[in-house]
Amino acid sequence: MTAPRPDGPGRNAGPAATPTDHPAPDAPAPTPGATHAAHAAAAATPTPAPTPDAGTQPHLAPVAADPREPALALRGLTKVYGSQVAVDTLTLDIPRGSFYGLVGPNGAGKTTAIMMATGLLRPDAGAAFVCGHDVWGTGIPAPPAPPAGSPGTAPGPMPVAPTPTPTAPTADMLAAKNAYGLLADGLPVFDRLSGHEYLEYLGRLRGMSPAVIEERSADLLTALGLDDAGTKSIVDYSAGMTKKILLAGALLHRPEILILDEPLEAVDPVSGQVIREILRRYVAAGGTVVMSSHVMELVEGLCDHVAVVAQGRVLTSGTIDEVRAGRSLSDVFVRLVGGGTIAEGSLGWLGGPAGGTTPTSAGTHPGGGGTVDGAPGTTTPGAPQ
């Protein structure tokens, strides 16, 4: 892999010659027969998209005609496990220089899409381009963008060709890996190394000079509050510390785009504030951040673009203001994805001691203990009850 470029993160990456900093084998690819059968079944019985509230008018951002223009372009990405469609012809563009949030419920397909977009999980169909580089070396034109669909619905499945398997990594595939930094759970980490040794290993793997590795490692360890942990084995790190050293590894080579899967999960508030500031500076310098999260307030506070993903599809996408349309992001999310409700009268046993009694009047606490609103027997406001 070439040495780090002197230009900023907004420039195109040059050809690379070594694996990514988090080498991981592809997941076992399904046989062509099984894959085609699964695709046929999926096409015959497409997964129904969630039905949003009637008042919701989701915004679907236009897709670039040339997938090499955005920082990250996903075209018809599909992943099927048996009869389960994990990602359903997902198409999305991440503009260069944006701070892009991916939000969705558990099992929405966000992490699967990220793994396919970064070359760690082979898609059954579709293509991904990182900073203009074909992640899977498909050598085929990207499928067209799906139609916008009617308001309140996601685009339906579209025909896409199975992703071909190159006989060897192409220069474009390696350049794609060189262009991004990735933080995601489940990636292998050499946890018997110290934090400093881990960063040195990643830097050497990428062909960086020892002086640059030392300078950047020291800066990152200090900024992330890992100075004292630099000589400690990663296996002894807390979950939050491990998250921070992985972020340092993703930033070390000054990538053009950062792809982060729940980057602030298990991180304490002080470290979280530092990470947010680092990411803001990175974007201000011309970089692009893609961040998946379950925390709507975090996405609203950090991101300038957002996409809501459910059942492997993009339900809405665009700038934060376009997607919110005057509402909160949480409200839009619940309206699109659907929120669970608790039936009246269920869980009535909660809130009192075992064997507690049912309230006998509107002013009596379950299980006894006085009444409310100044009725006889009321405990003093603010006193323990």
d(CA 331, CA 56) in angstroms, rounded, equals 10
153 vs 316: CA distance, rounded Å: 9
355 C-beta neighbours (distance < 10 Å), count = 7
Residue 34 covered by a domain: no
Share of the chain above pLDDT 90, in %: 53
Tens of pLDDT, residues 355-383: 555 555 554 444 444 444 444 444 444 54
The per-residue pLDDT for 39 is 43
- Residue 38 falls inside a structural domain: no
Per-residue pLDDT band at 285 (split at 50, 70, 90): very high
Check which CATH number belongs to the domain holding 136 and give it. Answer: 3.40.50.300
What pLDDT does residue 163 have? 64
Q: How confident is the model at residue 260 (pLDDT cuts 50, 70, 90)?
A: very high
pLDDT band at 101 (very low <50, low <70, confident <90, very high): very high
- Full-model pTM: 0.71
In this predicted structure, what is the pLDDT of residue 185? 81
| Predicted confidence band of residue 222 (pLDDT cuts 50, 70, 90) | very high
Mean pLDDT of the chain: 77
The reported pLDDT for the residue numbered 8 is 42
Enter the tokens of residue 163: 């992703």
Say which residues have a Cβ less than 8 Å from residue 272's Cβ, sequence separation at least 6. 264
Task: Tell me if 17 is assigned to some domain.
Answer: no
Percent of the chain with pLDDT strictly greater than 70:
66
Cβ atoms of residues 30 and 124 within 8 Å: yes
Strand ranges (E), 136-256: 180-183
**pLDDT above 60: residue 112:** yes
In a domain, 295, yes or no: yes
- Measured between alpha carbons, how far is 230 from 346 in angstroms, rounded to an integer? 52
Strands (E), 22-83: 72-81
Q: Which of 109-113, 304-308, 359-363 has the lowest mean pLDDT?
A: 359-363
The stretch 244-248 carries a mean pLDDT of 95
**198 falls within a domain:** yes
Q: How many domains does the chain have?
A: 1
Cα–Cα dist 244/254, whole Å: 16
- Tens-digit pLDDT profile for residues 128-151: 999 999 999 887 554 444 444 433
Angle, in degrees to the nearest 10, between helices 239-251 and 269-284: 10
**Of the listed ranges 237-241, 280-284, 337-341, the one predicted with least confidence:** 337-341
Cα separation, 281 vs 219, whole angstroms: 14
Whether the pLDDT of residue 184 is over 80: the answer is: yes
Give the torsion sign (CA, 209, 212, 215, 217).
negative
In 3D space, the residue among 163, 110, 117, 122 whose CA is nearest the CA of residue 139 turns out to be 163
85 bridge partner residues: 80
Residue 66: per-residue pLDDT = 65
Handedness of CA 54, 309, 272, 326 (dihedral sign): negative
At residue 192, does pLDDT exceed 70?
Answer: yes
What per-residue confidence (pLDDT) applies to 53? 47
Predicted pLDDT of residue 31: 44
Element (H, E) at 42: helix 32-44
- 110 inside domain: yes
- Could you give the count of Cα atoms lying within 13 Å of 380 in the half-sphere of its Cβ? 3
pLDDT band at 62 (very low <50, low <70, confident <90, very high): low
Q: In terms of residue numbers, what domain contains 115?
A: 54-148+155-337
pLDDT at residue 170, as a whole number: 78
Higher-pLDDT residue of 71, 371: 71
Residue 385 falls within a domain, yes or no?
no
Q: Which residues contact 94 (CB under 8 A, 6 or more apart)?
A: 70, 71, 72, 73, 100, 257, 288, 290, 305
Residue 71 is predicted with a pLDDT of 95
Work out the number of other CB atoms within 10 angstroms of the CB of residue 219. Answer: 13
Q: What is the mean pLDDT of residues 171-196?
A: 90
203 in any annotated domain = yes
> Rounded mean pLDDT of 248-275?
93
